[in-house]
């Protein structure tokens, strides 16, 4: 097939026969692929307790809120319980337990991928580079803190309703002697 | 008065039953013996010995418990206390009738083997939250025991 490489060779002449290679125009093939968010595992539903397997909070148990358009999962500790803030997490680095907390649907427009975008550092001109920036912006914006409080105000009461769930979320997941992940039921 | 009572003569039947309790083995592999299958396809199920194939194999059947008439190895199986009265090599229908008459399943549920197997099964089926609750319960129980022991040691 003539279209084995990424470019289609469009002949300036009507047919292939007797075409002049120097006059052919190379055009990339049309990409009809539509980007979809990662397919969410059936075991993960809003309110499911997830075990984080990687990152700073590995081993911690968190509550799943929703899947963001990027495909990542939005989770919260809740922050007051185990110190995990509103965070994005990849599905692949998570174990979904069968424990589901009944939380009312959180319909907040601000909970999107854009919220997590890092602010670009202001570029300094040559002179300013030698002047130390003494006034540093707080690492966590007040906006984030407010949003965290708003979300947790809904999640924390729901968690407290279930017996022993807050202490469960406070504890970390570990493997002890004789426990093998492929034999455990989550 | 009590030591006089001990010296009362016993009947022959009583003596025989006393002897049988003194014997090394009380459960035998025989036709009609109810067994618990430990390993293999039908693990966890009860069956009745219908015939003996050789030193290491049995023909078993469990129409009431879902075990088809198959040959199993003796070491795949644990023999129970329960025995039913069936002729050697009898048909599955007869085994079913006799098992239901002897109430094999309900008798087995009172046994230690069943209770241990159930406990193992429920432990394996525990989810992460369940395991956490069990651990907390165990820790608090052991703490209470240890503190009580310490208190008793101090007071004595």
Q: Which residue of B has its CA nearest to A180?
A: B124
Q: What are residue B50's phi and psi, to 5 degrees?
A: -100, -35
Q: Count CB atoms within 10 A of the CB of residue A169.
A: 23
Separation in Å, CA A176 to CA A52, A56, A168, A182, A184: 17, 21, 17, 14, 12
Q: What radius of gyration do chain B's Cα atoms show?
A: 23
pLDDT tens per residue across all 186 residues of chain A: 555 555 555 555 555 566 666 777 778 888 888 878 789 999 999 999 999 999 999 999 999 999 998 899 999 989 999 999 999 999 999 999 999 999 988 877 778 888 888 777 766 666 666 666 655 666 788 888 999 999 999 999 999 999 999 999 999 999 999 899 999 999
Q: With H, G, I as helix, E, B as strand and everything else as coil, classify residue B70.
A: strand
Task: Scan for tokens 């803030």, then name that residue.
Answer: A85
How far is B84 from B104, CA to CA, in rounded Å?
A: 8
Beta bridge partners of B73: B57
Taking the Cβ of residue A164 and every Cβ of chain B, the question of whether any pair is shorter than 8 Å is answered with yes
Residue A25, Cβ density class (10 Å: 0-12 exposed, 13-18 middle, ≥19 buried): exposed
| ipTM score of complex | 0.74
Q: Model confidence over B116-137: pLDDT tens digits? A: 999 999 999 999 999 999 999 9
| pLDDT the model gives residue A17 | 64
Taking the Cβ of residue B134 and every Cβ of chain A, the question of whether any pair is shorter than 8 Å is answered with no
Task: Tell me how close the Cα of B130 comes to any Cα of chain A, in angstroms.
Answer: 9
């Amino acid at each position: 097939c003539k279209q084995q490489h990424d470019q289609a060779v469009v002949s300036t002449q009507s047919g292939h026969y007797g075409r002049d290679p120097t006059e052919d125009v190379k055009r990339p093939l049309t990409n009809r692929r539509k980007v979809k968010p990662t397919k969410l595992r059936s075991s993960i539903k809003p309110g499911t307790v997830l075990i984080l397997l990687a990152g700073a909070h590995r081993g911690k148990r968190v509550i799943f809120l929703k899947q963001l358009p990027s495909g990542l999962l939005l989770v919260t500790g809740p922050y007051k319980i185990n110190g995990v803030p509103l965070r994005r997490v990849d599905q692949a680095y998570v174990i979904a337990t069968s424990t589901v907390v009944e939380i009312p649907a959180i319909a907040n427009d601000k909970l999107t991928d854009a919220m997590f975008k890092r602010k670009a550092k202001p570029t300094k001109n040559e002179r300013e580079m030698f002047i130390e920036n003494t006034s540093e912006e707080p690492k966590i914006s007040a906006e984030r803190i407010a949003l965290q409080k708003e979300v947790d105000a809904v999640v924390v009461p729901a968690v407290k309703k279930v017996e022993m769930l807050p202490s469960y979320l406070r504890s970390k997941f570990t493997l002890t002697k004789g426990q093998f992940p492929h034999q455990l039921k989550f | 008065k009590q030591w006089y009572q001990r010296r009362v003569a016993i009947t022959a039947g009583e003596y025989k039953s006393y002897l049988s309790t003194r014997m090394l083995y009380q459960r035998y592999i025989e036709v009609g013996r109810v067994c618990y299958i430990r390993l293999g396809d039908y693990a966890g199920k009860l069956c009745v010995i219908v015939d003996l194939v050789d030193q290491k194999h049995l023909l078993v059947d469990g129409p009431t418990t879902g075990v088809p008439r198959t040959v199993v190895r003796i070491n795949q199986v644990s023999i129970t206390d329960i025995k039913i009265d069936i002729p050697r090599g009898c048909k599955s229908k007869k085994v079913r009738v006799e098992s239901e008459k002897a109430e094999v399943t309900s008798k087995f549920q009172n046994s230690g083997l069943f209770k241990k197997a159930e406990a193992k099964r429920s432990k394996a089926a525990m989810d992460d939250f369940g395991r956490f609750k069990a651990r907390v319960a165990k820790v608090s129980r052991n703490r209470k025991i240890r503190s009580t022991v310490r208190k008793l040691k101090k007071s004595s």
